[in-house]
Structure 1
Amino acid sequence: MKKLTAILTVFFFMLLSFNSYAQTENKPDYFVGKWDVTVIGTPQGDAVMKVDLKRNEGKLTGTILTQSGSEPAAISKIEETDGSVKLYFTASGYDVFLLLQKKDDDHVTGNLLEMFDAKGVRVKAEDTKS
């Protein structure tokens, strides 16, 4: 009887661990992908930028292409929380940050330097075909 109880206990914990592993693996990585972001009301007018985020070895990385730049700016640091990311990069010689917060499945809101509102939309695969 003790062997049966021990086997059932081990079996129960194995099922429990498989269930929790399956749930963590299926969680989508919301911010990974390409985003069209508009920063509203800067001194030069509304600024449009392309944000491209990737997950490499568990770490979020990416680039930002601003209207004024011909080359994408590397994101030097990213702070992640469950529903937002803060992207640090250099634009026009200044170190700046862009906060993006999840609004719905394909939209983000946020701000640049906590001074200018930002809004963005996910670029879908069919949006990139021309």
Structure 2
Amino acid sequence: MKKATLINLMAVILIVIATKANAQTQTNYYIGKWDVLVKGLPNGDTHMKFNIADSAGHTKGVLLDTTAAHKDIPLTKIEQDGDKITLYFNAQGYDVSLLLAKKDDDHATGSLMGMFDANAIRMKEK
């Protein structure tokens, strides 16, 4: 009887350790660089490139400036709820939000300000 109890206790301990190890290795789906195509803007469809990173357990990011000036725009706030993320930033004096929802491993869909359709593709590192 003592051997059975000891074996059961060891099995429970191993399951707990395996579960904790697995939980620590999961990464945030949105970490990385994203190319977001926003459709239907007044000046036409446009690509926005975002770089989202994890800094000491806190998600941060920037809207990459692809012009010659290279002045990246910092994201003012990031909210994540399950497979959805909302990125907030300031553009041309306006507070702007971009909502994205996971579609598959490298794609997300959503909207800019709830008005313009957005399709995001994860940019692969070269």
Q: TM-score, normalised by structure 1?
A: 0.84
User: Tell me, what secondary structure is at the counterpart of 1:125?
Assistant: coil
Partner of 2:46: 47
Cα distance in 1 for residues equivalent to 2:49 and 2:62: 8
Question: Deviation string for 1:44-95 (max 9, x for gaps)?
Answer: 1112111000011111110012567741111111111221110011011100
On the 8 A contact 1:48/1:67 being kept in 2, the answer is no
| Consecutive unaligned residues in structure 1, runs of 5 or more | none
User: Tell me, what secondary structure is at the counterpart of 2:18?
Assistant: helix
The residue type equivalent to 1:25 in the other structure is Q
Partner of 1:86: 86
Instruction: Give the % identical residues.
Output: 39
Once superposed, which parts of structure 1, at least 4 consecutive aligned residues long, lie more than 3 Å away?
4-10, 66-70
Q: How many residues get paired?
A: 125
Superposition RMSD in Å: 2.0
On the 8 A contact 1:48/1:66 being kept in 2, the answer is no
Map residues 4-15 of structure 1 onto 2, 5 A cutoff.
4=3, 7-15=6-14
User: Tell me, what secondary structure is at the counterpart of 1:78?
Assistant: strand
Residue 98 to residue 33, structure 1, CA distance change in 2 (3 Å): same
Is 1:111 the counterpart of 2:111 in the alignment? Answer: yes
Q: Cα distance, 1:29 vs. partner?
A: 2.3
Q: Cα distance, 1:106 vs. partner?
A: 0.9
The residue type equivalent to 2:26 in the other structure is K
| Consecutive unaligned residues in structure 2, runs of 5 or more | none
Cα distance in 2 for residues equivalent to 1:67 and 1:96: 18
